[in-house]
Structure 1
Amino acid sequence: MTGPTPHGRADRRSAGELESEVLAALWATEEALTPAEIQAEIGGSLAYNTVHTILRRLYDKGLVLRDADGRRGAYRPAKNAAELTAEAMRQVLDRGPDPIAALQQFVTELSPEEEAAVRDLLGGSGP
């Protein structure tokens, strides 16, 4: 949350945090949103220009699309949250020296529900 620090400056959120907030607002609806609508959804603490800049960055990264259905200046996510997360996980695995070891470590930290879901996805049966 932003607010004044003891030195009178406002806390600043990183660009990644702001991008995540904008994406979360877009994922929360089925419709494309304008920068003003996203600003209101986030709580109005960001300037309109900041929201527009974040949207432009997300567009340049291929994470949002400009709506072509008549709402000029409206945006929608290019991928849903699960797709984006899976893509990020794949990129991390591809960068590491031993993706199998990373996966083994990852699955040891899964909750019982997550482990059951992975087993179901792989067609295996649990203990």
Structure 2
Amino acid sequence: MLAALTAAGAPSTPAEVRERISADLAYTTVMTTLVRLHEKGLLARERDGRAHRYWVADAAEVAAARMRQALEASDRRDAVLARFVGDLPPEDVPVLERLLRDAERRG
């Protein structure tokens, strides 16, 4: 399915993905698989009427989704963030500081 989405070159509905893959899968199977890949952060999506259009997430989207999952899964968000910040290379610290200031200004 990831190959079909990549080859499409544009966000696709489950029905469009189903048409592109050679396997004889039910629509609900394709839809469930796309939803699960989205939940894992591998796909991004947007609503299109009653359906969603999916596309392969870029590296930044995947990393952000995994960070959100780690934060949501922990009862010690401070520990997760401290570990992340502690593992940053020194050249990334000013970038993170700037992004935090920008986020604080936006509210």
Q: TM-score, normalised by structure 1?
A: 0.42
Higher RCO (C-alpha 8 Å, min separation 6): 2
Q: TM-score, normalised by structure 2?
A: 0.47
**Higher share in helix:** 2
